[in-house]
Amino acid sequence: MTKLSSDSIIYISEVMMPHKANVAGNIHGGEIIKMMDSAAYASARRYARSNVVTARIDEVEFHLPIMIGDLVTCTAQVVYVGTSSMEVVVTVDVEDLEAEGKKRALSAYFTMVALDKKGKPAHIATLELKTPEEEKAFAEGQKRYEIHKQRKTR
């Protein structure tokens, strides 16, 4: 069975409220990572149609401050699949709702693992690649997957 990467796309948006911020109004990084993890979870679960857990998060780097009142949108998409694991790219866009335009604040790679009813890694559908961008993202995800595998067997 194959599935499309585009069918796994999930968007989560939220206006940032004061209880998520420090005294200067900057939103805590952990709040953003929690939103990203929720988006990755929904995307992977939609793809696998089973329970999924986060195994790994790569390349979290905050490029821009996110402030109280900003609209934060996380976009998550499965871009690579192994046997039971999926790589989900999550991007975070930030919009000041008192100005025009939005900016990319960060992106990260979440490795999510599908589990069966007994909590064991479960086989998932292979990914059908439709565009050159999807092929590129798949190849990059495969490189990271192979690096993780090599590290684990050392």
Residues 10-36 as b/e (b if ≥16 CB within 10 A, e otherwise) read: bebeeebeeebbeeeeebeeebbbebb
Give the closest residue to 72 by CA, choosing from 41, 132, 29, 135: 29
What is the x/- site pattern for ligand COA, positions 51-70, by CB under 6 A? --xxxx--------------
Closest approach of ligand COA to the CB of residue 68, in Å: 27
Give the closest residue to 92 by CA, choosing from 66, 68, 54, 56: 66
Q: Considering only residues 76, 108, 113, 137, which one is a binding residue for ligand COA as defined by CB under 6 A?
A: 113
Residue 5 vs 84, nearer CB to ligand COA: 84
Long-range contacts of 98-104 (CB under 8 A, 24+ apart): 98/69, 102/71, 102/73, 103/64, 104/63, 104/64
Q: Is 36 in the site for ligand COA (CB under 6 A)?
A: no
Closest approach of ligand COA to the CB of residue 25, in Å: 28
Closest approach of ligand COA to the CB of residue 99, in Å: 36
Residues 131-150 that bind ligand COA (CB under 6 A): 148-149
**Residues 6 or more apart whose Cβ sits within 8 Å of residue 20:** 27, 28, 31, 68
Q: Considering only residues 5, 8, 43, 85, which one is a binding residue for ligand COA as defined by CB under 6 A?
A: 85
Among the candidate windows 38-46, 67-75, 82-90, 96-104, which touches ligand COA by CB under 6 A?
A: 82-90
Would you tell me which residues interact with ligand COA (CB under 6 A)? Answer: 53-56, 82-85, 111, 113, 121, 148-149
